[in-house]
């Protein structure tokens, strides 16, 4: 058997706990050893769960260890790494968590998934997640039981907040690993001729991430940076956040009203004037927002327009 075939069979057996131990793996007795091979399977699961714990530390504290690990294990079974480089692993986890927690109690099914493998292991994970959510005495998200309208509303808000915090954490990691680029200074902005403003555009730094949340996720994440205790979802209005990486230091800012829409328009290619016109808000302070973007390290370059 070729080396490539051996590696392929080994990887396939790691991916499917119900598969037989590969014939090419043998122990001291010269035969496949299921118990020893199980160590490799467990190491894969532990490694992937650990990668998610490292990527989403605040989400883990917010959900509680039991629930987070149950969801991480289910995710690891359904989403294998697409690359040996683990930087990008887990980027789909926020949506996966939201779907798992919003799903009603899992119904038994034997349908095959897109890869042709039986789904019963994933369904057992779903059931375990739902059982964990229902424990009212567990810290974090899990204290919200489904036994009345008020707690159901609280749980719904907690799930939305958890998903938003996870999206922020994922964006933080993406920003951290983005390519380097120079940034525009406030001095360069000040030197811009007023005649060029109507047609001027800005190019954003590769590390910039713009996020819109239905919950106060950015403030909750920020408060968690100065505390090592459990993190509880808080009531509050939705927030818009800007993530930048000036001087290789990732920073998260809560944007003022209008700031997200203004920045998004320019990121989509609008000129400064077009972005301002699209807002149609007389109270919007164009200069303050533009300087704020530049000062935060969000702007890589100013693309000058023609003089009018």
Question: What confidence tens digit (pLDDT) does each residue in 118-175 have?
Answer: 344 444 455 555 555 444 334 455 554 444 555 677 888 889 999 999 999 999 999 9
- Mean pLDDT for all residues in the chain: 82
- Is the pLDDT score of 16 beyond 80? no
223 to 79, 116, 122, 217: CA distances (angstroms): 31, 44, 34, 10
CATH architecture classification, 181-303: Alpha-Beta Complex (3.90)
In angstroms, the CA 160 to CA 204 distance is 29
* Buried-state track 52-68, b at ≥16 Cβ within 10 A, e below 16: bbebbebbbbbbbebbb
**Per DSSP, what are the bridge partners of residue 303?**
201
Residue 132, sorted as left (phi over 0), alpha (psi -120 to 50) or beta, turns out to be alpha
pLDDT at 129: 52
For the segment 256-294, what is each residue's pLDDT rounded down to a tens digit?
999 999 999 999 999 999 999 999 888 899 899 999 999
- Cα–Cα dist 255/183, whole Å: 19
pLDDT digits (tens, 9 = 90+) for 18-40: 777 777 777 666 677 777 777 77
pLDDT at position 230 over 80: no
What is the residue extent of each domain of the chain?
3-164, 181-303
Give residue 139's pLDDT. Answer: 46
Using alpha carbons only, give the angle 90, 125, 164 rounded to the nearest 5 degrees: 40
Does residue 222 register a pLDDT over 90?
yes
Helix axes 65-78, 34-55, angle to 10 degrees: 110
């Amino acid at each position: 058997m070729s080396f490539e075939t051996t590696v392929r069979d080994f990887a396939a057996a790691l991916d499917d706990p119900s598969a037989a131990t590969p014939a090419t793996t043998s122990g001291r007795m010269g035969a496949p050893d299921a118990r020893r091979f199980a160590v490799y399977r467990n190491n894969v699961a532990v490694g992937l769960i650990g990668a998610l714990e490292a990527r989403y530390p605040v989400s883990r504290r917010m959900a509680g260890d039991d629930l987070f690990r149950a969801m991480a294990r289910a995710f690891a079974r359904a989403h294998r790494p697409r690359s040996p480089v683990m930087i990008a692993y887990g980027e789909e986890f926020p949506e996966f968590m939201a779907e798992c927690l919003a799903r009603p109690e899992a119904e038994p099914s034997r349908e095959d998934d897109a890869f042709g493998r039986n789904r019963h292991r994933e369904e057992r994970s779903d059931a375990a997640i739902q059982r964990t959510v229902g424990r009212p005495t567990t810290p974090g998200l899990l204290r919200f039981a489904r036994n009345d309208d008020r707690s159901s509303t609280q749980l719904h808000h907690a799930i939305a907040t958890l998903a938003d915090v996870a999206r922020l954490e994922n964006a933080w990691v993406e920003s951290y690993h983005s390519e380097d680029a120079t940034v525009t200074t406030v001095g360069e902005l000040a030197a811009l001729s007023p005649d060029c403003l109507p047609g001027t555009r800005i190019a954003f730094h590769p590390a910039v991430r713009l996020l819109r949340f239905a919950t106060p996720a950015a403030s909750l994440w920020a408060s968690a940076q100065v505390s090592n205790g459990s993190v509880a979802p808080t009531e509050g209005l939705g927030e818009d956040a800007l993530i930048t990486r000036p001087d290789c230091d990732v920073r998260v800012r809560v944007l003022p009203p209008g700031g997200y829409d203004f920045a998004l328009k320019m990121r989509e290619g609008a000129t400064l004037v077009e972005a301002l016109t699209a807002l149609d808000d007389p109270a919007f302070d164009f200069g303050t927002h533009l300087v704020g973007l530049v000062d935060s390290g969000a702007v890589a370059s100013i693309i000058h327009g023609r003089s009018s």
